[in-house]
Chain A
């Protein structure tokens, strides 16, 4: 078995369809400009449409056009909001496939770095079991909210952007960048579960969040250990983590504001070992790229243009 696989090589059964990851990479590099966001989504429209075919995202695509994903990312989960049912399914599904990729990433860390210290291997092996349980938990939670694995397209962006061939960068990206993001998302899900009085969801995600703190600590310890006496490597690891943080801002969806779609979970992150400087840096990174308002406006324009296009197609077919 070779070492270091690409995200395209992740194996899935026939329920799953793949979504392009190029869009997510490009969004993170865009300026805060509505036209630029609209142009990018329109460029990727045919690929997005194709990836939704045969999945539960198809009706969403028909209703909102290529920017349908923005409706999940730019809005918080509000009890009573009619769109929340779809949003929670989309978010839960995104987390489920994220946990699958985290399991695969931890497993690959064991295979890709055979000469790593034993304690590192123990931590990654433990993470394999934790991520396994997370997959199982989110499979149950998907069912709990009326969703199923594979009902939406899967982006393998998490595996792609985090799986560096340097173990220091990999743990910086996965364990500090992505597991830190998981702290933010899960704290918000717990808030939502509390608001709707869903004890099952609240308790399950609370346990998952506790595991994530442990994984962030693994990351903090191993970045320190791998980069001991190598400031250049430490800088590369920190830059890599920042890049991952930036790519997972979901167009301004994550921020320090309490009303943001994904508020930064400061307390959890502190407990996991993030320093005040790192938290300040994260707040700064969240302010870069397209803002939430820009994304919302882009989503509106994309929806209108899509509906106009469909109306024209219908009229053309009749004549």
Chain B
């Protein structure tokens, strides 16, 4: 009689294969339970999508109003990167019980963040490249990077792994954007006057960002808990 390949109901119907824990080699040290439940993660993902979608739209609008050709072309690529991040966040939403139509659901955490995005988009004329780039690349993107990384650390590493994976992509892109923006601003701000413009723009937007609680509206709470 051939050896059983599948266990049956009775004792003598068991197979001879020894049990093997899939996570034993190597040892899985991850523990269940993260800071965010399905509902709160869905809310965060909608907030992230809002930030990426509006950044994409603002940068797209600015391309025509910025005279420096390498800045125009640099933004052209970043527009596509932000679109991909927003798209990935949108596709995650139906997986977080938000319904099939949720792929286009962007939502600001609060009115304050929506006003911050509006303030970011304000500079319009060709002489304001410093203000445009400083707002997005000195303030918004470093904030997004910090929140994405914190979210990746604090969410459940097993149950919410799909969110972590798409955040990894967003983080990789955002890091590149910040480095690019810094290089552009270093070149553009070649006088004390321009460096002062950059500093003032950053200070004003950062204050607004902190006041509204950032992309998720919970900045103070999160920072407090992290510390």
Residues of A within 8 A of B (CB): 1-3, 5, 9-13, 100, 103-112, 114, 117-118, 121-122, 124-126, 128-129, 131-132, 135-136, 139, 149, 159
Taking the closest CB of chain B, its distance from the CB of A91, in whole angstroms, is 20
Taking the closest CB of chain B, its distance from the CB of A301, in whole angstroms, is 38
B65 lies within 8 A of A125 (CB) = no
A110 lies within 8 A of B56 (CB) = yes
Cβ-defined partner of B79 (8 Å) among A11, A12, A128: A128
Q: How many Å lie between the Cα of A124 and that of B72 in the bound state?
A: 15
Provide the residues of chain A in CB contact with B67, threshold 8 Å: 11-13
Query: B82 in the interface, Cβ–Cβ < 8 Å?
Result: yes
Query: B37 in the interface, Cβ–Cβ < 8 Å?
Result: no
Query: B25 in the interface, Cβ–Cβ < 8 Å?
Result: no
- Contacts A100-B72, A107-B79, A135-B72 known; A118 to B60 CB distance under 8 Å? no
A125 lies within 8 A of B72 (CB) = no
B59 lies within 8 A of A107 (CB) = yes
Q: How many Å lie between the Cα of A109 and that of B60 in the bound state?
A: 8
Q: How many Å lie between the Cα of A109 and that of B62 in the bound state?
A: 11
Provide the residues of chain A in CB contact with B123, threshold 8 Å: 1
A104 lies within 8 A of B63 (CB) = yes
Task: List CB contacts (< 8 Å) of B24-67 with chain A.
Answer: 53, 56-67
Task: List CB contacts (< 8 Å) of B62-114 with chain A.
Answer: 62-69, 72-73, 75-77, 79-80, 82-83, 87, 90, 103-104
Cβ-defined partner of B69 (8 Å) among A112, A124, A135: A135
- Contacts A1-B122, A125-B56, A136-B73 known; A11 to B65 CB distance under 8 Å? yes
Q: How many Å lie between the Cα of A99 and that of B56 in the bound state?
A: 20
Provide the residues of chain A in CB contact with B69, threshold 8 Å: 13, 100, 135, 139, 149
A9 lies within 8 A of B65 (CB) = yes
Show 7 residue pairs from A and B whose CB-CB distance is below 8 angstroms, ordered by the A residue: A1-B58, A1-B62, A13-B69, A107-B64, A110-B61, A111-B61, A149-B69
A124 lies within 8 A of B64 (CB) = no
Provide the residues of chain A in CB contact with B76, threshold 8 Å: 103, 107, 128-129, 131-132, 135
- Contacts A107-B59, A110-B61 known; A1 to B121 CB distance under 8 Å? yes
- Contacts A121-B56, A132-B73, A136-B73 known; A104 to B64 CB distance under 8 Å? yes
Provide the residues of chain A in CB contact with B80, threshold 8 Å: 125-126, 128-129
The 9 closest A-B pairs by CB, nearest first: A111-B61, A132-B76, A110-B60, A125-B83, A107-B63, A129-B80, A107-B60, A104-B64, A11-B126
Taking the closest CB of chain A, its distance from the CB of B86, in whole angstroms, is 8
Q: How many Å lie between the Cα of A106 and that of B57 in the bound state?
A: 11
**Beyond A10-B64, A128-B79, A135-B76: 15 further Cβ-contacts under 8 Å?**
A1-B122, A3-B61, A5-B65, A11-B64, A11-B66, A11-B126, A12-B67, A13-B67, A13-B68, A103-B76, A107-B79, A109-B60, A128-B76, A129-B80, A132-B76
Question: Of residues A109, A112, A125, which shows the largest number of chain B Cβ atoms within 10 Å of its Cβ?
Answer: A125
Q: How many Å lie between the Cα of A121 and that of B49 in the bound state?
A: 13
Query: B222 in the interface, Cβ–Cβ < 8 Å?
Result: no
B73 lies within 8 A of A9 (CB) = no
Q: How many Å lie between the Cα of A100 and that of B75 in the bound state?
A: 12
Taking the closest CB of chain A, its distance from the CB of B76, in whole angstroms, is 3
Provide the residues of chain B in CB contact with A126, threshold 8 Å: 80, 83
Taking the closest CB of chain B, its distance from the CB of A69, in whole angstroms, is 23
Provide the residues of chain A in CB contact with B73, threshold 8 Å: 103, 132, 135-136
Q: How many Å lie between the Cα of A1 and that of B56 in the bound state?
A: 14
Provide the residues of chain B in CB contact with A111, threshold 8 Å: 57-58, 60-61
Taking the closest CB of chain A, its distance from the CB of B173, in whole angstroms, is 12
Query: B124 in the interface, Cβ–Cβ < 8 Å?
Result: yes
B65 lies within 8 A of A1 (CB) = yes
Q: How many Å lie between the Cα of A106 and that of B76 in the bound state?
A: 9
